[in-house]
Structure 1
Amino acid sequence: MIELGNQLLDQDADSDSWEVASGLLAGAVQFWLYAHQPCGDLGCESCGEIDTAEKRLQRLTEQVRQSAMESDYYHTPFDTNAGSA
């Protein structure tokens, strides 16, 4: 995904990295929601945790939060709450 973002930025010198990142994120969210649709079987145990829109949003939010916190880019030296010694 990072490589794709870099390619998109390289293709257009005027592109904004925040806009490219937001577009990639929007596409990833759409694909995730598409891929996590319940199968339609009301008795399906696998779909139990994603059988409503709110449950899917909660699961997606949890996964995004975990991915962000595990990222090397989560904390930066320029964060306003970053300490310095």
Structure 2
Amino acid sequence: MIEIALQITLAMVTLAVVLNIYRLIKGPDAPDRILALDSLYINAIALIILLGMTLGSRMYIESALLIAVMGFVGTVALSKHLKRGSVIE
């Protein structure tokens, strides 16, 4: 039963990733693209965790944590660049 739920969840999160990529490419302005990138890395974390659950491996949790940290830093850097024009003051 859990395998079926994992497969359905993987399909739904994959659809969310595809829609985020569409918004990232087509976004009308920069804040929409930054928000799409933020959602994309959150969905990538979900995909990696679900893949780890499907394969029964704990190794994927470390990569999900790395993506979370890098995604947060990237979002902050892009937002600062959009607001001030530079990342480092």
TM-score by length of 2: 0.40
CA radius of gyration, larger in: 1
Structure 1 length-normalised TM: 0.41
* Bigger share in helix: 2
